[in-house]
A and B are shown apart, each in its own frame.
Chain A
Amino acid sequence: MAITAFAPTIGAGAPSGDTRRGGRTALLLLLPGIAYLALFFLAPLVSLILTSLQTPRLYGDIGQYDYAFRIENYADVVGEYLPQILRSFGYALVATAIALVISYPLAYFIGVALRRYPLAQSLLLVLVIAPFFISFLLRTLAWKQLLSNDSLVVQGLQALSLLGPGEYFIGSPAAVIFGLVYNFVPFMVLPLYASLERLDIRYLEAGSDLYAGAFTTFRTVTLPLSMPGIVSGTLLTFIPAAGDYVNASRDFLGSPDTSMLGNAVEANFLVLQNFPAAAALSIILMAAILVLVAVYVRRSGTDELL
């Protein structure tokens, strides 16, 4: 990229020291970061596309592939892994919805109800981010043990006939979704809190002055004003959940019947050494997420993601 590409454009709001020299300074400051992302983020995406079109080398060993424009790889992986693909998006969607429902009241409580108690606010926020300070694999394994077949929870569910005598929780789709919700709730609470914390309480008072009930005020005032938080929270939950393969894996909360797209990518890349299949699945995941995000952000009418 030429230096002229970063020449400052004169416009309103530009800091006063913004001269031609500023343009060169900006380039120098940005170059390491941009070059790094080009080399280790963009180039790998290109590698992934090229790998997804490879074909096994003739008379080659396992794991040896040559470049070929083999677009059929995509049809092959969709044919073989359709259940995993559907499960990935299905589980992530349900987990995101549940996470939103349980996070919103908590974020509202911390951000609006506790507004006059800043110390309580920050202490509760510390509790929300506390899970980040302990390995997420260990936390997930803790749930596996707490919800294991002979646990009180499962015995209770069996006593209430919510589970049949031979039925268990671990290994079921519900367990995987439970784990996804648990692991990504903090990602939902934080952006919701950030937008609710800025909410001007006078709007809520105006609502009740105009004889709107609590529900009407919530639906017509609070909810629309917290939309940016809802959009970023749902994206921050949905995207990692759709790509996750730890919760669904057999040694954690899942079973072979609950494996997701991420599990298929891991198995193909690291175990079967079927690199083209793993790459094609990754590209499908990436493309689907980009399309969903673009549609969703446009629909919800917010693009203040950063």
Chain B
Amino acid sequence: MLGIFSAIVLVYLLIPIVYTIVFSFNDYRRTNIVWRGFTFDNWLGVCNAQGVCQAFGNSILIAVVSTVVATAIGTAAAIALARYRFRFKSATTLLIFLPMATPEVVLGAGLAAQFLTAGIQKGILTVILAHVMFCVSFVIVTVRARVASVDPSIEEAGRDLYGSPAQVFFRITLPLLAPGIAGGALLSFALSFDDFIITNFNSGPATTFPKFIYTAAARGIPAEANVIASAIFILAIAAVLISQIAAAARRKRLASR
């Protein structure tokens, strides 16, 4: 009973994904709404649809820069929060939690109002500034959980063995935190790449991949957009599945020893 119900919910979650992938192979002429036949043309000429590859390039650039910055400052803050006690700690925690509890329209409109007041032209830079802001909190929460699960006495042992603070950090702390940092970075990349609401308020004339889809929705999405989305999906799912199966195999090997 429970299994059947769960299967139905999972199918419901996956139907639009299957639809998107199937329609990336549609031999569409003007609008990619009805099925007209199978073709590889959209996959072979992804950039044929006007503007789609430029929007995709912008999204990648924004996601990479935002992820690098958010991961760096977020990891530092996460270590401080998990390892040290200081005054105003609960206020700091609240400040980190609030952006995640704020609706995206409010974040988007607030930043746009600030850029307007400060007279800053909207473009790719303002989108990056906005994305780093909402990614930082997610990185902090993800990395903090990892820091909390790592035993500080391992670092202490490193110090006892006369490791310099830099040696201890780069050879002990960082490798131990790596899975958490990778998780935070991945989350941040995905959030930035798929963000539409905040981007729409702060991008001005610059397009991103989600903004391209939103604008094209009124007149019809070219199948090339489905190709890009499907390719990313397939790559991401393959990466996640491989890492999950590898982790399970490792656990099994350790258990059988």
Q: Chain A interface (Cβ within 8 Å of chain B)?
A: 1, 5-9, 11, 14-18, 22-23, 25-27, 29-30, 32-34, 36-38, 40-45, 47-48, 50-51, 102-103, 105-106, 108-110, 113, 118-119, 122-124, 126-143, 145-146, 148, 182, 185-186, 235, 239-240, 242-246, 251-252, 261-262, 265-266, 269-270, 275, 278-279, 282-283, 285-286, 289, 293, 305-306
Is there an interface contact between B13 and A137, defined as CB atoms closer than 8 Å?
A: no
Please measure, in the bound complex, the distance between the C-alpha atom of A299 and the C-alpha atom of B246, giving whole angstroms: 43
Q: How far is the CB of A119 from chain B (nearest CB, A)?
A: 5
27 residue pairs from A and B, CB less than 8 Å apart: A5-B87, A8-B84, A14-B85, A15-B152, A16-B156, A25-B80, A29-B76, A32-B72, A33-B76, A34-B95, A40-B132, A44-B110, A51-B117, A103-B9, A109-B2, A113-B3, A126-B244, A127-B10, A131-B16, A134-B20, A137-B214, A142-B23, A240-B103, A243-B103, A243-B105, A252-B217, A306-B93
A141 and B217 contact, Cβ closer than 8 Å, known pairs A122-B248, A186-B13, A240-B103: yes
Closest 5 CB pairs of A and B: A243-B103, A44-B110, A33-B77, A26-B84, A142-B16
A270 and B80 contact, Cβ closer than 8 Å, known pairs A5-B87, A142-B19, A265-B109: no
Within B158-185, the residues touching A (CB, 8 Å) are 159
Q: Which residues of B contact A305 (CB under 8 A)?
A: 97
Please measure, in the bound complex, the distance between the C-alpha atom of A131 and the C-alpha atom of B194, giving whole angstroms: 11
Q: Which residues of A contact B136 (CB under 8 A)?
A: 33, 36-37
Given pairs A29-B80, A138-B229, A243-B197, 6 additional interface contacts (CB within 8 A)? A36-B132, A109-B6, A134-B20, A136-B194, A142-B20, A239-B103
Q: Which residues of B contact A182 (CB under 8 A)?
A: 12-13, 16
Please measure, in the bound complex, the distance between the C-alpha atom of A108 and the C-alpha atom of B2, giving whole angstroms: 9
Please measure, in the bound complex, the distance between the C-alpha atom of A52 and the C-alpha atom of B79, giving whole angstroms: 38
Q: Which residues of B contact A132 (CB under 8 A)?
A: 190, 194
Q: Which residues of A contact B197 (CB under 8 A)?
A: 243-246, 262
Q: Which residues of B contact A124 (CB under 8 A)?
A: 6, 10
Please measure, in the bound complex, the distance between the C-alpha atom of A143 and the C-alpha atom of B20, giving whole angstroms: 10
Most buried by A among B17, B86, B236: B86
Q: Which residues of A contact B130 (CB under 8 A)?
A: 40
Q: Which of A1, A242, A270 contacts B200 (CB 8 A)?
A: A270
Interface status of B62 (Cβ within 8 A of chain A): no
A8 and B10 contact, Cβ closer than 8 Å, known pairs A30-B92, A242-B103: no
By beta carbon, the residue of chain A nearest B134 is A41
Is there an interface contact between A239 and B101, defined as CB atoms closer than 8 Å?
A: yes
Please measure, in the bound complex, the distance between the C-alpha atom of A145 and the C-alpha atom of B23, giving whole angstroms: 11
Is there an interface contact between A286 and B9, defined as CB atoms closer than 8 Å?
A: no
Is there an interface contact between A32 and B73, defined as CB atoms closer than 8 Å?
A: yes
Number of interface residues of B (CB under 8 A): 91
By beta carbon, the residue of chain B nearest A35 is B73
Is there an interface contact between A131 and B79, defined as CB atoms closer than 8 Å?
A: no
Please measure, in the bound complex, the distance between the C-alpha atom of A163 and the C-alpha atom of B29, giving whole angstroms: 32
Q: Which residues of A contact B76 (CB under 8 A)?
A: 29-30, 32-33
Is there an interface contact between B110 and A48, defined as CB atoms closer than 8 Å?
A: yes
Please measure, in the bound complex, the distance between the C-alpha atom of A139 and the C-alpha atom of B2, giving whole angstroms: 26
Q: How far is the CB of A93 from chain B (nearest CB, A)?
A: 14
Is there an interface contact between B232 and A133, defined as CB atoms closer than 8 Å?
A: yes
Please measure, in the bound complex, the distance between the C-alpha atom of A106 and the C-alpha atom of B6, giving whole angstroms: 5
By beta carbon, the residue of chain B nearest A305 is B97
Is there an interface contact between B113 and A47, defined as CB atoms closer than 8 Å?
A: yes
Interface flags for B218-255 (1: CB within 8 Å of A; 0: not) read 10010001100110110011001100110110010000
Q: Which residues of A contact B88 (CB under 8 A)?
A: 1, 5-6
Q: Which residues of A contact B30 (CB under 8 A)?
A: none
Q: Which residues of B contact A109 (CB under 8 A)?
A: 2-3, 5-6
Q: Which residues of A contact B200 (CB under 8 A)?
A: 266, 270
Q: Which of B13, B77, B114, B194 contacts A128 (CB 8 A)?
A: B13
Please measure, in the bound complex, the distance between the C-alpha atom of A11 and the C-alpha atom of B89, giving whole angstroms: 13
Q: How far is the CB of B214 from chain A (nearest CB, A)?
A: 6
Q: Which residues of B contact A23 (CB under 8 A)?
A: 84, 86
Q: How far is the CB of B241 from chain A (nearest CB, A)?
A: 6
Is there an interface contact between A243 and B3, defined as CB atoms closer than 8 Å?
A: no
Is there an interface contact between B244 and A185, defined as CB atoms closer than 8 Å?
A: no
A48 and B109 contact, Cβ closer than 8 Å, known pairs A7-B87, A33-B77, A133-B233: yes
A44 and B232 contact, Cβ closer than 8 Å, known pairs A130-B17, A133-B190, A306-B97: no
A40 and B133 contact, Cβ closer than 8 Å, known pairs A113-B3, A126-B244: yes
